[in-house]
Amino acid sequence: MSFVEYGDTIKDGDTAIVFLGHESMFPVKVQHGSVTQTKYGVIRHSTDLIGKKYGSKVTCSKGGWVFILHPTPELWTMNLPHRTQILYSTDISIITMMLELKPGSIVCESGTGSGSLSHALIRTVAPTGHLYTVEFHQQRAEKAREEFREHGVEHLVTVTNQDVCKNGFGVSNIADAVFLDIPSPWEAIGHAKSALKAEGGRICSFSPCIEQVQRTCLAMEESGFTEINTLEILLRVYNVRTVSLQIPDLGKAAEDNSSTGFDSSSPSHQGSSCADLQQGTVQFKSGVPLREVVGHTGYLTFATKSLL
């Protein structure tokens, strides 16, 4: 199993996603002899998972069933164990596009955190690219190395435990793009410029506070970066549902009733009046925004290394 190469069959040691519903899923490490408890009952890895195809419908011990999905960076973002605050697919998608990443790209990242963005970057630059990721916290760096090894992508990523603001990324003039998600990104702009290729490259900084953005933009300008711009991505989700509305009475029915001497107050006519009212409805699909939406996550500042 690899996050960058699809495998048909579930194997011992794989990381799989147990899908109970759109709002309920979790990762599980498949191990011979192990069991996983769900609200629908027990899943026995040896008999229910190993050897089955990804996407299979598995019946649990209580009679309920789940689907076993192949892991992807998107599914991992939704289900990973949080060691830090993470980036979600909305921000990740614009970062990947604006940094102009493609297979074969070399990317430098700091900090690694929970590895949400890291997995997406690795999938994008595979099979010939590479990710150099720097994490200040030693335990988080070690856990990231372990996850990359379990997910079959360790050959595409190098994890370094050091302070990027003081020691940089450990590489020079090889990166096509640099991403910063640290408390003081302005202190790492010089190291980011050194890591980028001499012929230029792109940089992105993620910051939750506008004061961080201001200092970072000033540091970028002083270091000779151009095309500096900051944006914020706000996702608004809609529910599509069937809505019934009454057809408006524009007066024609009232005129017809008056011309024929129709008395709506008469008991004999009240039933027919209600029936006509019920029949005068139309159903259609409508998009309704959620009552609660995800608000501010952070500001994304992009810039280009100048060739001058």
Q: Could you tell me the two tokens for 138?
A: 């030693």
Class of domain 9-71: alpha beta
Residue 255 annotated as binding site:
no
163 marked as part of a ligand binding site: yes
Q: Binding residue per annotation — 115?
A: yes
pLDDT at 22: 83
> What are the beta bridge partners of residue 122?
none
Q: Where are the domains of the chain?
A: 9-71, 75-234+294-305
Read off the DSSP letter of residue 239.
E
Does pLDDT of 289 surpass 70? yes
- Predicted confidence (pLDDT) at residue 277 exceeds the cutoff of 50: no
222-273: per-residue pLDDT in tens? 999 999 999 999 888 888 988 888 888 776 655 555 555 545 555 555 554 4
The larger pLDDT score, comparing residue 263 to residue 123, is at 123
3-class SS string, 27-95 = EEECCCCCEEEECCEEEEHHHHHCCCECCCEEECCCCCEEEEECCCHHHHHHHCCCCCCCCCHHHHHHH
Residue 8 annotated in ligand binding: no
Residue 135 marked as a ligand binder: yes
**CA within 13 Å, CB half, 211:** 2
In CATH, the architecture of 75-234+294-305 is 3-Layer(aba) Sandwich (3.40)
Question: What amino acid is encoded at 308 in this protein?
Answer: L
Cβ neighbours of residue 75 under 8 Å, at least 6 residues apart?
17, 25, 69
Instruction: Give the chain's count of helices (H) and strands (E).
Output: 9, 15
- 3-state SS, residue 128: coil
Q: What is the pLDDT of residue 290?
A: 83
Q: Please state, in angstroms and rounded to a whole number, the distance separating the CA atoms of residues 215 and 200.
A: 22
* Annotated binding residue 181: yes
Supply the mean pLDDT for the chain: 90
Mark residue 214 as left, alpha or beta (left: phi above 0; alpha: psi -120 to 50; beta: remaining): alpha
Rounded percentage of the chain residues whose pLDDT exceeds 70:
90
Q: Binding site annotation covers 48?
A: no
Look at residue 276 in the predicted model and tell me its pLDDT. Answer: 47
Q: Residue 164 phi/psi, 5° resolution?
A: -65, -25
